[in-house]
Amino acid sequence: MTDGLILMTEDTRIRVKKVWKKFSNKQEDMYELGIAMFEQLFKRKPETKKLFSFDENNPDRWRMVKSHIRLLFDMIGEAVGSLDDQASMTPVLENLGNRHFHYGVKQDFYLVFGECLIHAVEEALGDSFTDKDKDAFMTLYHWVGGCIVKGIAMESYK
């Protein structure tokens, strides 16, 4: 890894694009998959609930999370689309980390979040999500999450 870039083989880039295309084609399930992903995050890192003003007693409690799910999946789609030119997307992801620092996001949230994201993709794609696909998608997340964490760290030193 150099300057936020992760060297990916052509096979890895192809696999990531294939996996994301299959996952994002499940538009009707995207919110449910995203909600399941955030439920898992909230369970594993309860302190993340406060980032969304999450109130268990509010019937509209998922409204902010649903909005964030759309933004999240759009950003991942952009990252997937820029795999052949990571240098153009890396500063965007680092800037996203800068902004998330001010929302109270901590660096260690991203490891757990990445695991929850991988789990959501696995759930959505079932048996068609092979071990090689998982490894490729984890490589994507290491780049995306690593850039965001770097942005959080840079902002915390200001």
Reported pTM: 0.87
Mean pLDDT across 121-127: 90
Residues paired with 2 in a beta bridge: 5
Assess if residue 2 is contained within a domain.
no
Which tens digits make up the pLDDT trace of 42-100? 999 999 888 877 666 776 767 777 888 888 999 999 999 999 999 999 999 999 999 99
How far, rounded to the nearest angstrom, does the alpha carbon of residue 46 sit from its chain's CA centroid?
A: 18
* 101 assigned to some structural domain: yes
Instruction: Say how many domains are in the chain.
Output: 1
Q: What pLDDT is attached to residue 1?
A: 42
pLDDT reported for residue 3 = 61
Residue with tokens 């909600």: 35
> What was the pLDDT predicted at 59?
67
Q: What's the CATH number where 129 sits? A: 1.10.490.10
Residue 3 within any structural domain of the chain: no
Q: What one-character-per-residue DSSP string does the chain give? A: -BTTB----HHHHHHHHHHHHHHHT-HHHHHHHHHHHHHHHHHH-GGGGGGGT--TT-TTTTHHHHHHHHHHHHHHHHHHHTGGGHHHHHHHHHHHHHHHHHTT--TTHHHHHHHHHHHHHHHHHGGGS-HHHHHHHHHHHHHHHHHHHHHHHHHHT-
The rounded distance, in Å, linking the Cα atoms of 80 and 35 is 21
Question: In which domain, by residue range, is 113 found?
Answer: 10-156
**1 located within any domain:** no
Q: What pLDDT digit, counting tens, does each position of 8-33 carry?
A: 899 999 999 999 999 888 766 778 88
**Structural domain includes residue 98:** yes
